[in-house]
């Protein structure tokens, strides 16, 4: 027996599973009741997996898990009564297992997968189980190449602030909404379940959403997709999973909009900055009014439905892309029953989530203390998860416009060798807003050893320097921190960026100034 292929619901149930449970597993349209079932999560320390495990436990499942090492998330899971093993040799798989849940990165030869199959347990990927939990509920799926975590977090925040009671799983930590997961007190069809719908491994083909959004579509995950055409086709298949009584909200300016929406049975509306969009986002660069405490915040944003201005808010984070994501969250929240007034107030009060233009801190340099009559500006440190060229470009430009630093120093950690190689030309032109770019080693995950040797961080630096960008490759992280100590000046903005562990650099640089 092998784990299920992407796009299927589960491996065939083993002989040890009860007949009722087996029947539910075999029927993708049947609601999946977890009460009393024993589930084991491989890679439980991830944001999505930990949230799914806690959601399953809240619904009455007996949950355990494993991960590669200790972390804050592992500690929180243990404190919540979910045992987590740091061994993945098969010994942590519990007796009487009903279902093994694996992340997309876990392969069929993994020791815990082999042990679960040997015992006759079913195997599901994370997205498969999450998709099954949408059955019988009002599922909301937020899809797009980027912006999913921010939009999902804002939507959840809006619904909570509007007095509604959503369930959700977010792929990042947002303290304002209680972390990355929540289980509604409602049950069945009255329960709203919100989740990110990722195109990696075609995971979102397992979802059963009532309402869905497509934020954007760009080339990514080219280790799995042969071309942008295959990616567009994957989004088209996802869109066709929305039922006729549901709805789809799609980016108006996307060049792939018509290819994705053609022939759908559900109502489709567009959202964007163009006057022709069904929902139009308008950003006023200078802001429009003050917050309750009298302080001017970000730019004023208005949301238009035709000629009617239905909502307005102060953009809580820099950038037009954030205003757009907030507008998608606002429209979706309104579809789920939220009123426009509370929606605008909720967006204005949103405090962001971890690693999305997150302010790490400010530090005054030692040399800046010499002139006490004219104290120098501190160095500001921002951390961001961006790892796609479009994210790099839009985030750096937004941060530069917002903070207006003397210089911007970007420490960019490429994520995956395959992404770096396939999107090299786009990466080369995405750092136009930065004055200095420092590139550590590429974060190695999922790629083959052959791919690992096909491109290096030094290759990106060479291409950047040919473009006239001041760029350097440094390794290890300690060398980068030392370099920041040498080159930063008062008023600089340091941005650590990437989906790996590059965040450690900014935190260490701030700590050095304490």
Whether a cis peptide bond, with omega within 30° of 0, leads into 25 is: no
- For the chain, give the percent of residues with pLDDT over 90: 62
pLDDT for residue 24: 78
Average pLDDT of the segment spanning 423-439: 93
Is the pLDDT assigned to residue 40 strictly greater than 90? yes
Tokens matching residue 457: 């961080």
* Strands, sheet with 38-42, edge to edge from the N-terminal-most edge strand: 84-85, 62-66, 38-42, 99-102, 122-125
Give the separation between CA 159 and CA 338, rounded to whole angstroms: 7
* pLDDT recorded at residue 13: 37
Overall average pLDDT of the 376-393 stretch: 91
d(CA 243, CA 267): 9
Q: What is the mean pLDDT of residues 462-478?
A: 94
Structure tokens at 221: 């995950």
CA dist 378 → 244, 399, 471 (Å): 55, 16, 23
Report which DSSP code applies to 278. S
Kindly report, residue by residue over 57-81, the tens digit of the pLDDT: 988 999 999 998 888 889 999 999 9
CATH topology of domain 19-127: Rossmann fold (3.40.50)
pLDDT of residue 368: 53
Q: What is the mean pLDDT of residues 497-504?
A: 92
| Model pLDDT, residue 108 | 87
Would 19-127 and 136-348 be classified into the same CATH topology? no
Say if residues 322 and 150 touch (Cβ distance below 8 Å): yes
pLDDT digits (tens, 9 = 90+) for 177-204: 988 888 888 766 678 999 999 988 898 9
Residue 494 has phi, psi (to 5 degrees) of -105, 125
Q: Is 154 a residue whose pLDDT tops 80?
A: yes
pLDDT for res 104: 79
Q: Say if residue 5's pLDDT is above 60.
A: no
CATH class of this structure's domain 136-348: alpha beta
Mean pLDDT confidence for 152-174: 92
pLDDT for the residue numbered 446: 75
The pLDDT of 321-335, averaged and rounded, is 95
pLDDT averaged over every residue in the chain: 87
pLDDT of 153 higher than 60: yes
Could you state, in order of their start, the residue ranges of all structural domains in the chain?
19-127, 136-348, 358-512
Q: Is the pLDDT of residue 463 over 90?
A: yes
Residue 14 in this model has a pLDDT that exceeds 60: no
Give the pLDDT score at 205.
Answer: 94
Higher pLDDT, 296 or 143: 143
**What mean pLDDT comes out for the span 151-164?**
95
CA distance to 145, 231, 423, 512, per residue, from 199 (Å): 8, 8, 17, 40
Rounded CA-CA distance 192/184 in Å is 8
Pick the CATH number of 358-512 from 3.90.190.20, 2.40.30.10, 3.40.50.1100, 2.40.30.40: 3.90.190.20
Above 60 in pLDDT, residue 4? no
Q: Which value, to the nearest 10 degrees, does the dihedral of the CA atoms of residues 56, 100, 104, 454 take? A: 150
Helix, strand counts (H, E) of the chain: 17, 21
pLDDT reported for residue 26: 80
Gap between the terminal Cα atoms of the chain: 56
Least confident residue range of 144-148, 152-156, 160-164, 295-299: 295-299
Percent of the chain with pLDDT over 70: 91
* Global model pTM greater than 0.75: yes
Contacts of residue 413, defined as CB under 8 A and 6 or more positions apart, other chains included, come to 439, 440, 441, 442, 443, 496, 497, 498, 499, 500, 501, 502
Higher pLDDT, 416 or 212: 212
Q: What is the pLDDT of residue 286?
A: 56
- Pairing state of beta strands 62-66 and 122-125? unpaired
Q: How does pLDDT run across 260-318, given as a tens digit for each residue?
A: 999 999 999 999 999 999 999 999 865 444 434 444 457 899 999 999 999 999 998 88
Helices (H), 104-251: 111-118, 126-134, 148-161, 228-239
- Write down the pLDDT at residue 297: 57
Contacts of 459 (CB under 8 A, 6+ apart): 420, 424
3-state secondary structure of 482: helix
Please write the tens of the pLDDT for every residue from 385-410.
888 899 899 899 989 988 889 999 99
How far apart CA 225 and CA 221 sit, in angstroms, is: 6
């Amino acid at each position: 027996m092998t784990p299920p292929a992407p796009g299927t619901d589960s491996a065939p149930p083993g002989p040890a599973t009860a007949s009722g449970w087996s029947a539910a597993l075999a029927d993708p349209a049947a609601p999946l009741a977890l009460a009393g079932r024993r589930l084991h999560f491989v890679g439980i320390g991830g944001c999505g997996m930990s949230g799914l495990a806690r959601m399953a436990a809240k619904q009455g499942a007996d949950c355990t898990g494993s991960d590669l090492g200790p972390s804050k998330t592992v500690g929180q899971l243990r404190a919540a009564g979910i045992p987590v093993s740091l061994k993945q040799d098969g010994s942590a798989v519990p007796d009487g297992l009903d279902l093994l849940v694996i992340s997309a990165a876990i392969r069929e030869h993994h020791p815990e997968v082999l042990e679960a199959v040997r015992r006759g347990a079913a195997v599901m990927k994370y997205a498969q189980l999450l998709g099954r939990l949408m059955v019988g509920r009002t599922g909301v799926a937020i899809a797009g190449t980027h912006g999913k975590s921010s939009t999902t977090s804002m939507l959840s925040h809006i619904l909570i602030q509007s007095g509604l009671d959503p369930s959700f799983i977010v792929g990042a930590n947002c303290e304002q909404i209680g972390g990355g997961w929540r289980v509604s007190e409602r049950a069945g069809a009255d329960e709203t379940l919100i989740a990110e719908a990722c195109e990696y491994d075609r995971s979102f083909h397992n979802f059963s959403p009532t309402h869905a959004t497509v934020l954007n579509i760009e080339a990514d995950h080219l280790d799995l997709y042969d071309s942008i055409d295959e990616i567009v086709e994957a989004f088209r298949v996802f869109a066709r999973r929305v039922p006729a009584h549901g709805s789809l909200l799609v980016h108006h300016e996307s060049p792939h909009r018509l290819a994705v929406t053609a022939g759908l049975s559900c109502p489709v509306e567009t959202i964007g900055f163009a006057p022709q969009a069904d929902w139009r986002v308008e950003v006023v660069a200078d802001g429009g009014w003050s917050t309750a405490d009298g302080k001017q915040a970000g730019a004023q944003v208005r949301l238009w439905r035709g000629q009617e201005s239905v909502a307005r808010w102060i953009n809580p984070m820099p950038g037009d892309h954030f205003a757009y994501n907030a507008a998608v969250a606002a429209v979706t929240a309104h579809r789920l029953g939220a009123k426009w007034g509370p929606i605008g107030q909720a967006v204005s009060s949103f405090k962001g989530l971890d690693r999305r233009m997150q302010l790490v801190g400010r530090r005054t340099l030692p040399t800046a203390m010499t002139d006490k009559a004219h104290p120098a500006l501190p160095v500001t440190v921002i951390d961001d998860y961006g790892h796609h060229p479009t994210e790099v470009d839009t985030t750096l430009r937004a941060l530069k416009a917002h903070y207006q630093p003397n210089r911007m120093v970007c420490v960019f950690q490429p994520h995956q060798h395959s992404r770096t190689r396939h999107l090299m030309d786009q990466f080369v032109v995405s750092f136009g807003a930065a004055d200095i770019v420092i590139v550590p080693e590429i974060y190695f995950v999922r790629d083959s050893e052959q791919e690992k040797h096909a491109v290096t961080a030094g290759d990106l630096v060479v291409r950047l320097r040919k473009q006239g960008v001041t760029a350097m490759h440094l390794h290890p992280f300690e060398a980068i921190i030392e370099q920041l100590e040498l080159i930063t000046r008062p008023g600089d903005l340091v941005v650590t960026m990437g989906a790996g562990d590059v965040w450690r650099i900014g935190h260490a640089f701030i700590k050095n100034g304490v």
